[in-house]
Amino acid sequence: MNLPAPARLRLGVNIDHVATIRNARGGDHPDPVRAAEIVASVGGDGITAHLREDRRHIRDADLKRISEATALPLNLEMAATEEMVQIALAHRPHAACIVPEKREERTTEGGLDAAGLHNQLQPVVSRLTDAGIRVSLFIAPEERQIEAALRLGAPVVELHTGEYAHATGEQVAVELKRVADMAALAAKSGIEPHAGHGLTYENVQPVAAIPQLAELNIGHYLIGEAVFVGLEAAVRRMRELMDAAR
Ligand code: PXP
């Protein structure tokens, strides 16, 4: 089944790093819930939050508060562990994006090995899907990972754009082509492609121009920019750049 090109590219804003700043002082300011409300007020399409095993930014109580504060769909990023499955089943977010997670990493460094972890992922994908949660797999833009997502029955893949974002010189076009080719392959296979990681004002447009992509998830850069111009202005500017690229 070939998915038609989506009319509009959605912007999901990852608000984890508002919680990172909050947690630096152990209090309740700045509140990621307020960030979610601002994202909703400026036309963001979704809130993305990663509940990590070590709770370094988003915490369990934040999920409920975020869901209650805005009508925007919540995309819960989570490791494929029993603990996280239980939390997802209790909270019923709109979507769950399965990510690889290493305790010592600074951020999600690579894609999920959907191909190598098939047997571990299958029950996780099934249980979340049965609960009405839209499952996405955060994978490297590689054919074998798309094929694995297809075997697992995941309706969505999020293509990891970190290699593209970190590339320099001629490698930029090579990495961009990998993302574009795998977005096309996913859509051709009936899987909705999303993308994210490391996107900025400077590098977002070539990715936003990939016609099959339905959603971008952007966090660190937007929260960093918000320090200087405010979250509202940062989200608006990203939205303008994305729209201009289509
Ligand atoms: N999508 C996924 C699945 C992620 O894990 C992350 C980072 O947590 C992002 C998007 C956002 O990446 P960044 O913070 O670099 O914009």
Selecting among 57, 163, 197, 225, the annotated active-site residue is 197
Q: How far is 161 from 216, CA to CA, in rounded Å?
A: 10
pTM of the entire structure? Answer: 0.96
Taking residue 177's Cβ as centre, other Cβ atoms within 10 Å add up to 13
- Per residue in 90-99, pLDDT (tens digit) is 999 999 999 9
Of residues 227 and 1, more confidence is placed in 227
Give the model's confidence band at 5: pLDDT under 50 very low, under 70 low, under 90 confident, else very high. confident
- Arithmetic mean of pLDDT, 27-50: 97
Nearest CA to ligand 1 atom 3: 138
Which residues form the pocket of ligand 1, taking CB atoms under 6 Å from any ligand atom?
14, 50, 77, 97, 99, 107-108, 138, 158, 196-199, 217-221
77 catalytic per annotation: yes
What's the pLDDT at 107? Answer: 74
Burial of 172 per CB tally in 10 Å (0-12, 13-18, 19+): middle
Q: Which among 138, 217, 225, 231 is the best mutation to test ligand 1's pocket, defined by most ligand atoms within 8 Å of the CB? A: 217
- Does 6 sit behind a cis peptide bond, omega within 30 degrees of 0 on the bond before it? no
- Per residue in 126-183, pLDDT (tens digit) is 999 999 999 999 999 999 999 999 999 999 999 999 999 999 999 999 999 999 999 9
- Arithmetic mean of pLDDT, 98-104: 85
What's the pLDDT at 90? Answer: 97
Tell me the percentage of the chain whose pLDDT exceeds 90: 93
Ordered by where they begin, the domains of the chain are: 10-245 (3.20.20.70)
* Both structure tokens of 237: 């500017």
Give the model's confidence band at 52: pLDDT under 50 very low, under 70 low, under 90 confident, else very high. very high
Tell me, in angstroms, the distance from the centre of ligand 1 to residue 97's CA. Answer: 10
